[in-house]
Chains A and B, each alone.
Chain A
Amino acid sequence: MTENNGTIKLKEVTKNYPNGVAALKDISLTVQTGEFVYLVGQSGAGKSTLVKLLYRELVPTSGEITVNGFDLQHLREREVPKLRRTLGVVFQDFKLLPKMTVAENVGYALHVLGKNNDEIRSAVTQVLAEVGLEAQADHFPDELSGGQQQRIAIARAIVNSPQIVIADEPTGNLDPKTSAGIMTIFQRINDRGTTVIMATHNQQIVDELPHRVVEVVDGQIVRDEEGGQYTHELDNNA
């Protein structure tokens, strides 16, 4: 499994929802360790569906998926937590617990894995420093700005040192300046060798921080471009 850490592989993946919507059609995609990949495309294109397949929130209708060396077709329900411990997931709506402080929200991720308080304290202190929230450790989420709340969520996602960080519209609720700050943090995480895969329809962040772009339209990959822009150059010219 070690040599596959940080890799994602989809082979001919199709996902139909029970209501008949064909969200993904025959998708193949390979992401190497340490890559930074944007999944772009309009609302409804299938980005979130693809992301949910990666952390095994959904199972594909057909096709093969390997994430961090886990063969998701053959992953048993009770082994899903093992997969998730190697991933960090960040969402548009932060998903923080309002009754817990910043430090508790971040520590929660280790707490539920049965880590002891000393381990948790030191890991939380370190990771809050990384996202620039040391001073807010004892605040509650709703005392902080949207950007700060998203940093808490990122801190929680990386506190267990995942090999892959998955983000679904992480800047969706944030203004452009705050978004840029959030992107800096993702870049730092990626600089340490962690694979980052980010679904977004935010043109600004993709264009300002160029990385590999995978464009999804109507459930299919129509473009896979290293160092690409949000929109295809030919489209721009046209």
Chain B
Amino acid sequence: MNWTTMRNHLHDSFKSIWRNGWMAFAAISGVAVTILLVGISLALVFNVTKLSHDVENDVRVQVSIEPKTTDRQEAALKAQLQKIKHVDQVTFSSKENELKKVVRQYGNSFEMFNGDDNPLSDVFVVRATDPEKTVAIAKQAKKLDHVARANYGGTQTKKLFKTMNGIRNWGMAFSVLLLVVAIFLIANTIRITILSRQNEIEIMRLVGATRWYIRWPFILEGAWTGLLGAILPLVIIDFGYVSVYNGVGQQLTTSGYHLLTPNALLLPLNIALIVIAMLIGSLGAAVSMRRFLKI
């Protein structure tokens, strides 16, 4: 296909999006909603995968020490912890230190717990030789004297996962539904175009235009409709992710886990979404061509 042909196809396809008016608008909106949902779901999928990975590689067990434990007892406890199998290293962190972390994470209002009002406890951070051993270590640590709690692998993060997975699953299911709707809406606009160009198509066939030559403008129209539909959701997702990253992301960071940075996530996500949008459009065109383009 030469350049002139290409240019004419492009021109034709744009012209008919414009001509199809509110039908095209409905199709574009359909794609927009779909892409928004698919985008959010994908962002969740990628981050859940990333965070799971972080958690799986986390070798830390946080052993909280009961209040009123004496220094001596603490030292004994430390020795016992070090004797547990697969323990690599045990470090002490005072409750003052722990409060500092909370303040960093949740804000200055927690400063009021400073001093004697501090509800937190001293902890031993126990590092396992490998992440799979943290469960066993936590269990054993819990049985020792003066131990209040033993948490491993970001107990909190696991709760977050549950919520995220829920959102993701519903998002995916709903996306599939919307995908079908979007394809249908695009197929509908392409149908109008095909019907309005019936004479031209007949003549093209008659003079020996190839089937792909005849199909291209419709495929392109579908693809552009998809692309136009992707613009708004991409803007929303990009800005949205940056603010989520700056908010939630900061909290996670202090607990040792990290969301994907906007730089790492957004470029591939945007490309994937643009491709998906254009595929939805082309698929819609294909559906319509199958039914209405008798070539």
Q: Which residues of A contact B (CB under 8 A)?
A: 55, 77-78, 81-85, 87, 89, 95, 97, 108-109, 111-114, 116-117, 156, 160
Residues of B within 8 A of A114 (CB): 1-2, 4-5, 213
Number of A-B contacts (CB under 8 A): 51
Which of A112, A113, A116 counts the most chain B CB atoms within 10 A? A112
How many residues belonging to B are interface residues under a CB distance threshold of 8 Å? 18
B206 touches A97 (CB 8 A): no
Cα distance A179–B237 in the bound complex, in angstroms: 67
A97 touches B203 (CB 8 A): yes
Residues of A within 8 A of B207 (CB): 84-85, 108-109, 112-113, 156, 160
A113 touches B4 (CB 8 A): no
**A119 CB to nearest chain B CB (Å):** 11
Residues of A within 8 A of B200 (CB): 97
Contact partner of A89 among B1, B199, B206, B209, CB < 8 A? B206
Query: Known contacts being A95-B199, A97-B200, A108-B203, is A78 close to B208, with CB within 8 Å?
Result: no
Which of A81, A82, A95, A108 counts the most chain B CB atoms within 10 A? A81
**A61 CB to nearest chain B CB (Å):** 19
Interface presence of B211 (CB below 8 A):
yes
Q: Which residues of B contact A (CB under 8 A)?
A: 1-2, 4-5, 8, 199-200, 202-211, 213
**A78 CB to nearest chain B CB (Å):** 6
Query: Known contacts being A95-B199, A112-B204, is A117 close to B4, with CB within 8 Å?
Result: yes
B208 touches A97 (CB 8 A): no
Cα distance A87–B204 in the bound complex, in angstroms: 13
Contact partner of B199 among A78, A97, A109, A111, CB < 8 A? A97
Residues of B within 8 A of A108 (CB): 203, 207
Known: A82-B208, A89-B206, A113-B208. 19 other contacts (CB 8 A): A78-B211, A83-B208, A84-B206, A95-B202, A95-B203, A95-B206, A97-B200, A109-B203, A112-B207, A112-B213, A113-B207, A113-B209, A114-B1, A114-B2, A114-B4, A114-B213, A116-B2, A116-B4, A156-B207
A-B contact pairs, 9 of them (CB 8 A): A78-B210, A81-B210, A83-B208, A85-B207, A111-B5, A112-B208, A114-B2, A114-B5, A116-B4
A81 touches B199 (CB 8 A): no
Residues of B within 8 A of A81 (CB): 205, 208-211
Closest to A110 in B: B207
The 6 closest A-B pairs by CB, nearest first: A84-B208, A85-B208, A112-B209, A109-B207, A81-B208, A81-B210
Residues of A within 8 A of B206 (CB): 55, 84, 89, 95
Residues of A within 8 A of B202 (CB): 95
Closest to B199 in A: A97
Cα distance A5–B200 in the bound complex, in angstroms: 28
**B185 CB to nearest chain A CB (Å):** 28
**B207 CB to nearest chain A CB (Å):** 4
Residues of A within 8 A of B1 (CB): 114
**A145 CB to nearest chain B CB (Å):** 20
Residues of B within 8 A of A160 (CB): 207-208
**A163 CB to nearest chain B CB (Å):** 13
Cα distance A97–B202 in the bound complex, in angstroms: 11
Residues of B within 8 A of A77 (CB): 211
Closest to B211 in A: A78
**A88 CB to nearest chain B CB (Å):** 9
Cα distance A81–B211 in the bound complex, in angstroms: 8
**B203 CB to nearest chain A CB (Å):** 6
**B215 CB to nearest chain A CB (Å):** 12
Residues of A within 8 A of B2 (CB): 114, 116
Which of B8, B200, B208 counts the most chain A CB atoms within 10 A? B208
Closest to A81 in B: B208
Which of A55, A83, A87, A113 counts the most chain B CB atoms within 10 A? A113
Cα distance A109–B202 in the bound complex, in angstroms: 12
Cα distance A156–B204 in the bound complex, in angstroms: 11
